[in-house]
Structure 1
């Protein structure tokens, strides 16, 4: 049976480019976000992950689901898939790569080859 990693991701687009992060020792870019801790709902998990990765606070009032994508998991054993619930939200603060990520950047659609497969799928939700 295939393993499915169930995660949440923040989709933030500015000037037509998608915000992405590079986690430590990874060759592809990911959405800010990650796995839920036990008992967390999507809002709690995503706001915590974004704060831990980028040092910004998401705005609860503008938090909005835009879809769920599923794709092969990058850098995981064969057969592993990612199921990612994607959300948009405004934010407060300045982006700073913190403990969990090495860098953040905005990626244009023509740079989609730099994105992990699930993030490529999430990019389609922004069109």
Structure 2
């Protein structure tokens, strides 16, 4: 069982995955955050994307992709990510609040990507999770 339960947005454009980084941390991760008590994971994903990227997601265009578990970053713990996709555009996304970087990554391993996101990339590449925008 995971130590940390989060909801996150998986947004792929032109075969590249949108990731963010916060403050002084080196690695990039999915936009999202911890699920609060009594909050539905979809609502967490929508709230966190607004807080981190200043984008209002249309709930009707947010769809469940699946769950991924992996090493949390930077904590020494396991994170469970309830992953969602978005049919709309994130063209207006900007760094907001604690976010210090936004970047699109190829769907391959990189030393700049958080470990749980690498688990997601492996699942996407092996078709264990199917991203359908």
TM-score range relative to shorter protein: 0.7 to 0.9
Quick check: 1:70–1:118 contact (8 Å CA) kept in 2? Answer: yes
What TM-score comes out, normalization by structure 1 length? 0.87
Gaps spanning 5+ residues in structure 1: where?
none
Q: Which moved more, 1:114-123 or 1:14-23?
A: 114-123
Describe how 1:1-127 pairs up with structure 2 within 5 A. Answer: 4-77=3-76, 80-91=77-88, 94-110=92-108, 112-127=110-125
**Cα deviation per residue 1:31-84 (whole Å; 9 max; x = unaligned)?**
00000222211121110100000011112112111111111112213xx11111
Alpha-carbon RMSD: 1.8
Cα separation, partners in 2 of 1:3 and 1:65, compared to 1, 3 Å: closer
Deviation at 1:11, TM superposition (A): 0.1
Q: 3-state SS of the aligned residue for 1:50?
A: helix
Deviation at 1:85, TM superposition (A): 0.8
Q: 3-state SS of the aligned residue for 2:111?
A: helix
Gaps spanning 5+ residues in structure 2: where?
126-133
Structure 1 Cα separation of the partners of residues 21 and 102 of structure 2: 6
What TM-score comes out, normalization by structure 2 length? 0.84
**Aligned structure 1 segments of 4 or more residues deviating by more than 4 angstroms:** none
